[in-house]
Structure 1
């Protein structure tokens, strides 16, 4: 597996791309409310990226082997949609949950992050799912340091989710990122500690657990992109892009509006 170790120049440019991706989420937050369509959210994000940031929306026309080109600039995954939901005419209503997944390209480098939003008044069950998924992501991030293994990340995420009665989607995972949208390594959100690749300073990858309130089984819709839970249970996801530093980790996709880490759960001193 060819995992690229990023140079200081790469890392600096990744910091910029990561911050810009997070700032798109800051920008769009006030617009995520009952009555808005996912297409409106996409259009606003597109305009902000292109006109304000002078960045490129990475998903637009993204076409991995075996897929049709992705038709929009962000992914909007609502309720039982797990990931890769295509923005359209769907009107968000109070009680919905939605993941907005943003990837920008700036100066040739990708920044990739996503957040969950609760539209209007969410149910206790929906809020809990979003909160536990957020904790899963951060517990995974907290494992990152040189000498740790990718299996350590997956293990803590799986353990925390399953302890709450939830399940982890296994078909999709985090990924290396840099000048390419998706690079090695694959970052599984389940697994055994002490297994898989050893982390080294200069690696950059995403941690983005998808957690289902029901069973982990999923299916793809006819649009060729949208993934949903088979049992139609709610699904949540959070995502950060993370750098392995000499002493631990640095989260690259942070900005003024980023939610605070759940410090009470984390062991590492640096945040």
Structure 2
């Protein structure tokens, strides 16, 4: 069942998303060679809690951390650890915030040091695909229109779209209906109506779209161990407009590539 949000509830999600955006901005300051990914997790959790909110991910179905940190061939759901970032790595930072009864969720993938041009292109085009998907998230369209826009764009660039992992509705729960795949057919799937709040999150691979789940039950990596990129926004579908509730502004003030 889809939970449609009132304007007041959308504003509460936006408040949560503002804390989330600033937490991402704090993490962005420390994305560089030699930094342990566990340190990034500590930065995020302290900022979120200092601002009267709770990390959405920590403890969610047993997940042990505030951030999903996914390096290189890890698509999503990687654990923060003692791993130190190296020149040439890419790192996806996915975070959620629970505040005033509502969740927000966003992600961003960073290059570390000198990254091959082909991988930088993967990052840029995956990010572009997020906004192409958001353009289709309007009243009267369908979920398939979002996925089609993402899939068509990235496949034309020679990349592949992960099928088994999808975006989602969110609000009082971190994951709500509907699912939001990053592939699909135009005019198919759930009708988009005012009050829907969804997380759109392209997961795009440089090589095969096939993925593998590691023995920890969480970490998802590409089957061919080629890099994967991941970007995400929480979006409200409203009468007459679509609003991006999360922001990458604070990231991009502190990290440019």
TM bin, normalised by shorter chain, reads over 0.9
Give the whole-Å Cα distance in 2 for the aligned partners of 1:221 and 1:36.
Answer: 24
Would the aligned equivalents of 2:212 and 2:222 in 1 still touch at CA under 8 Å? yes
Give the whole-Å Cα distance in 2 for the aligned partners of 1:15 and 1:172.
Answer: 24
Give the whole-Å Cα distance in 1 for the aligned partners of 2:223 and 2:127.
Answer: 22
Q: State the superposition RMSD in angstroms.
A: 1.1
Give the whole-Å Cα distance in 2 for the aligned partners of 1:252 and 1:152.
Answer: 20
Paired residue total? 253
SS of residue in 2 equivalent to 1:194: coil
Q: Does 2:238 match 1:240?
A: no
Q: What is residue 143 of structure 1 aligned with on the other side?
A: 136
Q: What is residue 54 of structure 1 aligned with on the other side?
A: 52
Q: What is residue 27 of structure 1 aligned with on the other side?
A: 26
Give 1:33-112 correspondences, 5 Å limit: 33-51=32-50, 53-63=51-61, 69-112=62-105
* C-alpha spacing 1:143/1:258, structure 2 compared with 1 (3 Å): farther
SS of residue in 2 equivalent to 1:249: strand
| Unaligned residue ranges in structure 1 (runs of 5+) | 64-68, 261-271
Shift of 1:126: 1.4
Give the whole-Å Cα distance in 2 for the aligned partners of 1:240 and 1:22.
Answer: 10
Give the whole-Å Cα distance in 1 for the aligned partners of 2:153 and 2:181.
Answer: 14
Q: What is residue 149 of structure 2 aligned with on the other side?
A: 156
Q: What is residue 11 of structure 2 aligned with on the other side?
A: 12
Shift of 1:255: 5.8
Q: What is residue 214 of structure 1 aligned with on the other side?
A: 207
Give the whole-Å Cα distance in 2 for the aligned partners of 1:255 and 1:128.
Answer: 19
TM-score (norm 1): 0.91
Give the whole-Å Cα distance in 1 for the aligned partners of 2:144 and 2:251.
Answer: 27
Would the aligned equivalents of 2:28 and 2:251 in 1 still touch at CA under 8 Å? no
Q: What is residue 113 of structure 1 aligned with on the other side?
A: 106
TM-score (norm 2): 0.96
Q: Does 2:124 match 1:125?
A: no
Give the whole-Å Cα distance in 2 for the aligned partners of 1:15 and 1:49.
Answer: 15
Would the aligned equivalents of 2:75 and 2:230 in 1 still touch at CA under 8 Å? yes
SS of residue in 2 equivalent to 1:223: coil
Give the whole-Å Cα distance in 2 for the aligned partners of 1:121 and 1:206.
Answer: 30
Shift of 1:243: 0.4
Shift of 1:248: 2.7
